[in-house]
Structure 1
Amino acid sequence: MDVKCNFADSVTEEKVSSDKCTTPKDRVIDLLDEVDRHVDILRRDLLLLDEKKDELLTTLDTIRHCDLVAQLSTDESSEIEEYADRLVRTCSAIDIKVTTHRDQQQEDALFQVNRLIDSLVLVLRSDPKSARARCLSYVSACSNRGTSCKAIEVDAEEEEEEEAASSSSQQQFIPDAVFEEVMFLCTPDDRKRVQRRLHGLLSYIEREMVPLLPTTL
C-alpha cells in the first residue's frame, strides 16, 4: 500500500507546499494536471514499445523474403521458416494495448497503408532498387499535406538523426500520391507508427543494397 502511494504522496506534498496560497479547487486541479502529464508519458512509452514490436515483425517478414533464404536447400528453408514462425508467434503474443480511437474512414485508411507497405516488402526480394525508390516516395509523402507528425519527446534526437540521414535522398523522390492520400486520413498516432516503420524499412533496404552500390575511389 505504501509503495502504491509513493507517487501520489510525492506529487501531493510538492504541490501543496508550493501552492499554499491557492484555493483548494486550484490545488486539486494542479494535482490532476500533474497526474495527466504522467499518464501522457506512460501512454507514449507504451506506444514506443508497440512501435518496437511492429519493427521486429517487419524485420522478420523482410528476412523471410530475402535472397539468402532463396539460396537455401529445402530442408534448410523449412528449418528457417519454422524458426521465423516461432519468433513471429512469440512477438505477436506480446500484448501492448494502447487504444487508438478511429472512425471507419480512419480504419480503412490504416488498412490501405499497411497493404501498400506489405506489397513493398514483397517487392524487396526481387527488385531492391525499385523497393527503395518506392519506400522513399512513401517517406516523402509523409512530409506533405500535414501528414508528418512530430516524434514523441523521449525520441526527439533519434528522429532528427533519421531525418538528417535520409533528407538528401528523400528530396530526389516525388511523394506517392496514393500513399499520401491515405496517410492524410489516418490518425496522428497511426501516422507516427507508419513513419517509424518506413524509416526502419528504408534503413534495412539501404543496408541490403550496399553490395549493389558502386565503389568510390
Structure 2
Amino acid sequence: MDVKSNFADAIIQDPAFLEGSASPKSRVINLLDEVDKHIDALRRDLLSLEERKDALLTTLDTIRQSDLVAQLSSEDNAEVEDYADRLMRTCSSIDINITTYRDQRQEEALFEVNRLIDSLVMVLRSDPQTARSRCLSYVSACSSRGTSCKPVELGCEEEEEEEVEASSSSQQQQFYPDAVFEEVMFLCTPDDRKRVQRRLSGLLAYIEREMAPLLPTTL
C-alpha cells in the first residue's frame, strides 16, 4: 500500500478487499496491519530525525568550543559567534514531538533515571573526577554489554569491534555498569533508553572537554 494513498479510498475501490475470500473482519484487520506498519516506519523516521537534530546541535557546540575558533581575532570571533547562534536558533526551532506512552512503572523508572543524572550533575560542580567515573558507569550500563550487571570485559578479538562502537571516552571499557542505574534503565521504554543514552553521551563529552585541566590523564 502506497503510504501516500487514501486508506478510505483503498477500502472502497480495492476489489480484493471487497470481494476477497476472507471474512470482512479479517480483511479489515489486514488493512489495519498495513496502517500499523506505516505508523511504525513513520515513528522510526521521526526518531532518526530527532537524533540528527541532537547531533547537529552537538556539532555546533563543539565547533564553537574548538581551538580554531579561539585563534580568531575579536572581530572574526564575533562574526562566527553570530553565525553559530543563528544556526543554533534555527536548528532548535525544529520541533520534533514524539509522545512516548508509559505505564506507571516506566514513568517511575524514567523519573529515577533523571534523578540519578541530576545528582551526577550536582557532583560535577565539586568533584569532576568522581562525576566522570560515575558518568562512565552510567554510559556502560546503557550499552548492549551493560545488561547483565557484570563488568565490561573485552577479549582481544572484541577490542577492535568495540572501539568502533564506543563513545567518545577511550576508557569507557574499563568501567563497571552501575547496578542501580542499569536496573532502572531496564524498566524504561526503548525510546527513553535511547534518549537517556544520548543525554549521557553529551554530558560525558562536556565533562571531558570542559573539565580536562582538572582531570588526571589516566584513572
Using structure 2 for the length normalisation, give the TM-score: 0.58
Higher-Rg structure is 2
Compared CA separation, residues 59 and 7, structure 1 to 2 (3 A): farther
How far did residue 58 of structure 1 move?
1.8
The percent of aligned pairs where both chains have the same amino acid is: 57
In the TM superposition, what is the alpha-carbon distance from 1:192 to its structure 2 partner?
A: 1.8
Q: Which residue of structure 2 lines up, in the alignment, with residue 108 of structure 1?
A: 111
The structural deviation recorded for 1:54 is: 1.2
- Partner of 2:214 in structure 1? none
Matches within 5 A, 1:147-162: none
**Aligned-pair distance for 1:196?**
5.2
* 1:30-45 alignment, distance < 5 Å: 30-45=30-45
Structure 1 unaligned blocks of 5 or more:
148-160, 207-217
User: Is the counterpart of residue 95 in structure 1 residue 95 in structure 2?
Assistant: yes
Count of matched residue pairs: 185
> 8 Å contact 2:64–2:84 — kept in the other structure?
yes
Larger RCO (CA within 8 A; separation ≥ 6): 1
Structure 1 residue 9 and structure 2 residue 10: aligned? yes
1:65: how far off?
Answer: 2.8
Cα deviation, 1:2-59, whole Å, max 9, x if unaligned, reads: x64379639x849639x93321111111111111111111111111111111111122
> Which amino acid is the alignment partner of residue 164 of structure 2?
A
The structure carrying a bigger helix percent of its residues is 1
Label 1:35 to 1:6 Cα distance change in 2 as closer, same or farther (>3 A).
Answer: closer
The alignment status of 1:28 with 2:28, answered yes or no, reads yes
Report the CA distance shift for 1:80/1:182 in structure 2 as closer, same or farther (over 3 A).
farther
Q: Which moved more, 1:167-176 or 1:71-80?
A: 167-176
Closer/same/farther in 2, CA of residues 34 and 171 from structure 1, 3 Å limit: same
Compute the displacement of 1:69 (Å).
3.4
Asked if the contact 1:113–1:183 (Cα under 8 Å) also holds between the matched residues in 2, the reply is: no
1:164 offset after TM fit, Å? 6.5
Greater shift after overlay, 103-112 or 63-72? 103-112
Q: Distance in 1 between matches of 2:135 and 2:16?
A: 49
Which runs of no fewer than 5 residues in structure 2 stay unpaired?
150-159, 209-219
Q: Which residue of 2 aligns with 1:165?
A: 164
Could you report, residue by residue, the CA deviation over 1:163-201 in whole angstroms, capped at 9, with x for unpaired residues?
Answer: 671369653333356754664464320212343566789
CA distance in 1, matches of 2:15, 2:197: 39
CA change 1:28–1:94 in 2 (3 A) is same
